[in-house]
Structure 1
């Protein structure tokens, strides 16, 4: 029986390959041609491959994700993860299925804290034993929101990359069928490289962003501060307030600092005294902003998910008096935080099929959530409960396809404000440093979040309290780096 199935499989593969070779170039060029060939090949061989897998007991390809946490945090609901699993199968079907017809199983990490931590421990044990999921679709959980998990499967993604947990993808990326590397944001994508090889594929990243609404007298961008230090003494109250708002939007860590650690060599790059001083400055700036802060109001016609980063003004569908910009950190830089990424397990026994998953995750169709899996299930109109598990852009993050910020095509978050989109594109072109949100970054935001709570409660904060908190935070970050 095995011989018969093998012969059928070989014939199907030959037919698929012959068919793929007959196509000519399309307007989209190589990526589209390769994608169509991939689909034809997969459809032709899927049945025979699955029959062979069942007979020989081959296990499904495993894809693990923590996207359920993001989906539940954003929508404040806890719908069954089975909906997301169903959507993932539809996505695979749309792209023609894996090259060798392998079944794919989406493993969704649970929401409950105890179960979530237990599953992380189990997965890490698998990885250390030379096994584990074939593909990782993971989040950074950065920013200042206390509802997001404090830990992730890889607490230090850059160190994990250097330690050999992920498969080198250079050869696969060169022959990708769905992603278009030439159109991806190079500075962000290069953050997933180590010693000349590509291991991690960033998907969405976060930019520090604010806006200033001054009716009848819009702010001239040339008047905006060139660094955190300039913002502290800026004569314009709205500007100082906007920097203060960064503390509860992108968070203290990204708003104030550029590179804070050498994650590969496990070394902190900021001094303990600097952390104290910057924390003290940020507390005062946040307190000043809160003393006359009024809630933001939004025009009901606006269909945008940029609410968490479009802060500090009255946002409407037409705002000629509103100035969007990217606040600079203490080094005068714009730092980008990779919040969603994927990688292939170095231990996978099926690298071609595993990369196929990564390939579609980096496709424009997936990152924009175009309606390729049915109008009744689209996330765009609020009815797509299934697809919203993968609606990572809805958290205000930016996709790695740079042209979405200039055209806005299909990208829901960047279609509402033309001036916002232009400002994002300008900031994107000026990114000086990119990092994967890790436990060290989250520890800094966790520390500052306690001060936010105290200011919100009207409590006084002494220098001694700040010193004690920053000293503890600094020691904890050093320990985290040593344990990564």
Structure 2
């Protein structure tokens, strides 16, 4: 009897082991895949490196001349070439890449269109430059129309392992919500943000009762229950009507899309509610129904804060910088310049070396290349822009040792860092932003009744989904 039992159980052991193996295999199949983060390649300064600079899609007044008819002409080629030549020499002096080929994408015109077509074809074929350094305009003429989608598509090399031991930059010293905008949905660092912007209204602190624990929302600004927020929005609405509204309205929506799922993060009803709310607020403001509200001065970007308030009687008083809060709370900024390494780079180590060098705080602060980048943007390095760490803006042509700089005094810096702590997200400008702003303008200037406004909302939402689908 014992021998039979022993034989029976012995015969079942292989079956049991097989069942266990199948169960473990099923569990492994159900568990999420570990993100692919490559180990750093060995760096060889002699290995060829190719860098593509697309720096002029935003019309920087330092690099363009403007005619009365509204046309513009690029005049910055000499400064651009000299800045990059100095960059290459500085890298070489630090033991960096020595065999570097450079391509500049022109800012406007047919030549730019041809370059973009060729570069996109190269990337689709698994080729292209090793490193991209890009200025993002969001007007549909960008090399990467939707950078966040390209992160999800695997166009860029994950840099997490490289960032464990950078030589020049300090990843922990970056403005983290901006820096995190370079991460894909699974948390890998695909892009390296360099600059950002955020539009605010500067107000006297004595006119503001700011609760640091409260999650302010767009509804708080619209309702009138918090007078200083309503006053800030009233000022911002004036600017939307008259100046740079295209880069403001979409920030009320926060993150616009989930690029991994290729879905908008808001519904058509959300779109209508926000645009109708802003339109109604505008009309009440024009009718004088908002009452006597605290007002401030619009600041397109805090880097311009000193000049924006220099003629105000309250300059020198404590300040509060009021942003446009999102529909669910939080504050969204926009990444303007960034660097990315091609996933198919022939020299990934050299590409990261160059990006690492560019993002070093000292180099961003005072180099000619850094000066070429800054067009009313903020550096991702969180210590720059203080009085003892000014941002170099432009060299005097007659006396190269004399530099124009931007910095914030102690009171301005305190207000700026308080604002920065409220930034929760950052995104890259795209055609989605302009489409939302255009809908607001169409509703304000063209749609004369409710059916017409609803038509604008319906058509705009359909267009947004179409644009996202083409990303």
1:359 is matched with which residue? 356
Describe the shift of the 1:315–1:71 C-alpha distance in structure 2 as closer, same or farther (beyond 3 A). Answer: farther
Cα distance between partner residues in 2 of 1:67 and 1:343? 14
Is the partner of 2:321 in helix, strand or coil?
A: strand
- Check the 8 A contact 1:256/1:329 in 2, yes or no: yes
- Check the 8 A contact 2:202/2:297 in 1, yes or no: no
Cα distance between partner residues in 1 of 2:418 and 2:257? 26
Cα distance between partner residues in 1 of 2:245 and 2:409? 19
Q: CA deviation at 1:90?
A: 0.5
Q: TM-score, normalised by structure 2?
A: 0.72
1:64 partnered with 2:52:
yes
Q: How does 1:373-392 map to 2 (within 5 A)?
A: 388-391=371-374
Describe the shift of the 1:95–1:327 C-alpha distance in structure 2 as closer, same or farther (beyond 3 A). Answer: same
- Check the 8 A contact 2:54/2:135 in 1, yes or no: yes
2:152 is matched with which residue? 162
Q: CA deviation at 1:343?
A: 0.4
Higher helix share: 1
Cα distance between partner residues in 1 of 2:181 and 2:297? 37
1:185 is matched with which residue? 175
Cα distance between partner residues in 2 of 1:315 and 1:418? 17
Cα distance between partner residues in 2 of 1:321 and 1:253? 28
1:22 is matched with which residue? none
Is the partner of 2:465 in helix, strand or coil?
A: helix
1:38 is matched with which residue? none
> Structure 1, unaligned stretches of length 5 or more?
1-41, 54-59, 143-148, 299-303, 374-385
Larger Rg: 2
- Check the 8 A contact 2:64/2:75 in 1, yes or no: no
2:400 is matched with which residue? none
Q: How does 1:279-290 map to 2 (within 5 A)?
A: 279-286=275-282
Describe the shift of the 1:297–1:186 C-alpha distance in structure 2 as closer, same or farther (beyond 3 A). Answer: closer
Is the partner of 1:323 in helix, strand or coil?
A: strand
Is the partner of 2:56 in helix, strand or coil?
A: helix
Describe the shift of the 1:353–1:220 C-alpha distance in structure 2 as closer, same or farther (beyond 3 A). Answer: same
1:88 is matched with which residue? 84
- Check the 8 A contact 1:225/1:328 in 2, yes or no: no
Q: TM-score, normalised by structure 1?
A: 0.70
Cα distance between partner residues in 2 of 1:416 and 1:296? 18
Cα distance between partner residues in 1 of 2:233 and 2:60? 33
- Check the 8 A contact 1:325/1:423 in 2, yes or no: no
- Check the 8 A contact 2:63/2:75 in 1, yes or no: no
Cα distance between partner residues in 2 of 1:366 and 1:286? 44
1:219 is matched with which residue? 208
1:105 is matched with which residue? 101
- Check the 8 A contact 1:252/1:282 in 2, yes or no: no
1:429 is matched with which residue? 421
Cα distance between partner residues in 2 of 1:125 and 1:360? 29
2:331 is matched with which residue? 334
Given candidates 443, 447, 450, the residue that maps to 2:435 is 443
Given candidates 340, 344, 364, the residue that maps to 2:341 is 344
1:234 partnered with 2:257:
no
1:81-135 deviations in Å (ceiling 9; x for gaps): 2430221110221233585643333322223343323321211001011111211
1:475 is matched with which residue? 462
Describe the shift of the 1:61–1:95 C-alpha distance in structure 2 as closer, same or farther (beyond 3 A). Answer: closer
Q: CA deviation at 1:449?
A: 4.9
1:264 is matched with which residue? 260
1:411 is matched with which residue? 391
Is the partner of 2:58 in helix, strand or coil?
A: helix
1:205 partnered with 2:185:
no
Q: CA deviation at 1:418?
A: 3.3
Q: CA deviation at 1:414?
A: 6.2
Cα distance between partner residues in 1 of 2:388 and 2:200? 18
- Check the 8 A contact 1:99/1:352 in 2, yes or no: no
1:171 partnered with 2:171:
no
Q: CA deviation at 1:400?
A: 1.5
2:273 is matched with which residue? 277
